[in-house]
Structure 1
């Protein structure tokens, strides 16, 4: 993993999550802004997948469990898609809150993936 890209992903996911949570708690239904923020989080995760596949060829290998890392990554790729699907099916304020929760969960998952990649497991 690339450290600056990890922190970019975490920052974008936290901002998107807080935005969606705030708008949802204010009673806004999913709109282009909230869906776009979630799509940006998903796009960055796809970029992380590409980086994670290419990094070992450049000498940046994981020090932790690759199985655990890729399980987190595949799970993280599914979460925003599932939340967006929910938001499109049930267009209520709570769907916007779900988008926010999904983005915040992605921030935590990306940070954990960074730990797995860089910190030697015990």
Structure 2
């Protein structure tokens, strides 16, 4: 994984998550802004999938467990999809909070993926 891209993903996910949690706790229902913020997190995750496929081919192989990395990545890609579907089906303030919690969970998962890719020795 690329450190600057990992940090960018984490910053975007934390900002989106904080925005959605605050908006939800303030009583806001899911809007284009909250769903769009989580969609941006999803777009960065899709870019991470492409990066994870290309990186070993250009000399940046993972040092940790590759299966564990891919389980984290696939789970992270599916998490915002589930949160957005939930928000679109149940349009309440708690759906906005769920969007935020999903984005914050993704920030943690992205950092863990970076640790698996760079720090551990398989």
How high is the TM-score relative to the length of structure 1?
0.99
Distance in structure 2 (CA, Å) of the matches to 1:55 and 1:121: 17
Q: Cα deviation per residue 1:35-81 (whole Å; 9 max; x = unaligned)?
A: 00000000000000000000001100000000000000000000000
Q: Specify the SS of the correspondent of 1:83.
A: helix
Indicate the residue corresponding to 1:3 in structure 2: 3
Indicate the residue corresponding to 1:12 in structure 2: 12
Moved over 2 A (4+): none
- Aligned-residue Cα RMSD (Å) equals 0.8
Q: Does 1:28 align with 2:14?
A: no
Indicate the residue corresponding to 2:118 in structure 1: 118
Q: Specify the SS of the correspondent of 1:108.
A: helix
Q: CA deviation at 1:121?
A: 3.6
Structure 2, unaligned runs of 5 or more: none
Indicate the residue corresponding to 1:99 in structure 2: 99
Q: Does 1:71 align with 2:71?
A: yes
How high is the TM-score relative to the length of structure 2?
0.99
Number of equivalences: 122
